[in-house]
Amino acid sequence: MVESAFPSTRFYIEIDGINKAVFTEAEGLQIEVDVTEYEEGGNNGFVHRLPGRVRVSNLTLKRGLVQSNQLYKWQTEIAQGKVTRRNVSVVMYDPAGAEVIRWNLIKAYPVRWIGPAFRVNEQVAAIETLELAHAGLELG
């Protein structure tokens, strides 16, 4: 059986189980393991490479700016010391609309909000960016 890849254009972002379908980009689903090198005495021809700490990347979400400013408010609450962690899911769908896979970010919170860039000579959508840190990534 040959597996085929799915297009990455059909996805939703859920924050605390509520669909937020207006996002145009999501990136940062990444897990990385540090490698520690250990040199063994008397063995000059080999270095042991051992797995170390596991790190997960922040998730960056982009969307067209809308009148709702919930994401901005979430970020400003963090800046005021009120840390509200939320579970966030990136859900991918096949062309027929069936769910393919779900990545769950546990206890996420915003660490950066970027407002739109304004350019007089371009007619593109105003984009806001939200970067989320989280306590772990699971496949659901």
pLDDT (tens digit per residue) in 93-116? 988 889 999 999 999 999 999 988
Are β-strands 23-27 and 59-64 bridged in parallel, bridged antiparallel, or unpaired? antiparallel
Q: With a cut of 70, say whether residue 2 has pLDDT above it.
A: no
Q: Rounded to whole angstroms, how far apart are CA atoms 61 and 113?
A: 10
- Provide the mean pLDDT of the chain: 88
What is d(CA 12, CA 19) in angstroms, rounded to the nearest whole number?
6
pTM above 0.85, yes or no: no
CA 120 remoteness from chain centre: 31
Q: How far apart are CA 138 and CA 58, in angstroms?
A: 14
| DSSP reduced 3-state for 78 | helix
pLDDT level of residue 27 (50, 70, 90 thresholds): very high
What Cα–Cα distance (Å) separates residue 10 from each residue in 22, 49, 91, 103, 135?
11, 39, 8, 14, 25
pLDDT at 55 over 90: yes
Give me the CATH code for the 11-31+57-139 domain, please. Answer: 2.30.110.20
Query: How far apart, in Å, are the Cα atoms of 98 and each of 25, 101, 102?
Result: 20, 9, 12
For the stretch 71-94, pLDDT in tens is 888 989 988 999 999 999 999 998
- DSSP 3-state assignment of 3? coil
Report which residue type is found at 59. Answer: L
What residues does each domain of the chain span? 11-31+57-139
